[in-house]
Amino acid sequence: TQLLEQSPQFLSIQEGENLTVYCNSSSVFSSLQWYRQEPGEGPVLLVTVVTGGEVKKLKRLTFQFGDARKDSSLHITAAQPGDTGLYLCAAGPMNTGFQKLVFGTGTRLLVSP
């Protein structure tokens, strides 16, 4: 079973602080995605990274895919209360076709005003 470990599991910070969330695996993936899920709702796709070493920016969020395509990070600059939620990484295993996503364990972020 291919596992995605996320760290930290929980993060509670003040508005304006920066933070980084990590997603690690021993497996190589075709691509990796980051989702945010709010209570009572489904995951919302934030970004997809495909190429090893790729960096993508989405406003205050910066996503990086590791060179070996085994890990990824999400960095949030100047966090705001609206960033509160569960952040999930998900990846498509190699050689299984574009079918099932393997999800990480999640990082629960709380940003206080």
Partner 1 sequence: NAGVMQNPRHLVRRRGQEARLRCSPMKGHSHVYWYRQLPEEGLKFMVYLQKENIIDESGMPKERFSAEFPKEGPSILRIQQVVRGDSAAYFCASSPRTETYEQYFGPGTRLTVT
Query: Does the protein bind partner 1 through residue 85 (CB under 8 A)?
Result: no
Q: Give the whole-angstrom CA distance, residue 85 versus residue 1.
A: 27
Stretch that binds partner 1, among 13-21, 28-36, 52-60, 74-82 (CB under 8 A): 28-36
x/- track of binding to partner 1 for residues 43-82 (CB under 8 A): xxx--x----------------------------------
Minimum CB distance to partner 1 smaller for 9 or for 77: 9
Query: Does the protein bind partner 1 through residue 106 (CB under 8 A)?
Result: yes
Query: Does the protein bind partner 1 through residue 9 (CB under 8 A)?
Result: no
DSSP assignment of 35-101 equals EEE-TTS--EEEEEE-STT-EEEETTEEEEE-TTSSEEEEEESS--GGG-EEEEEEEEETTS-S-PP
Return residues touching partner 1 (CB under 8 A): 30-31, 33, 35, 40-45, 48, 88, 90-92, 97-106
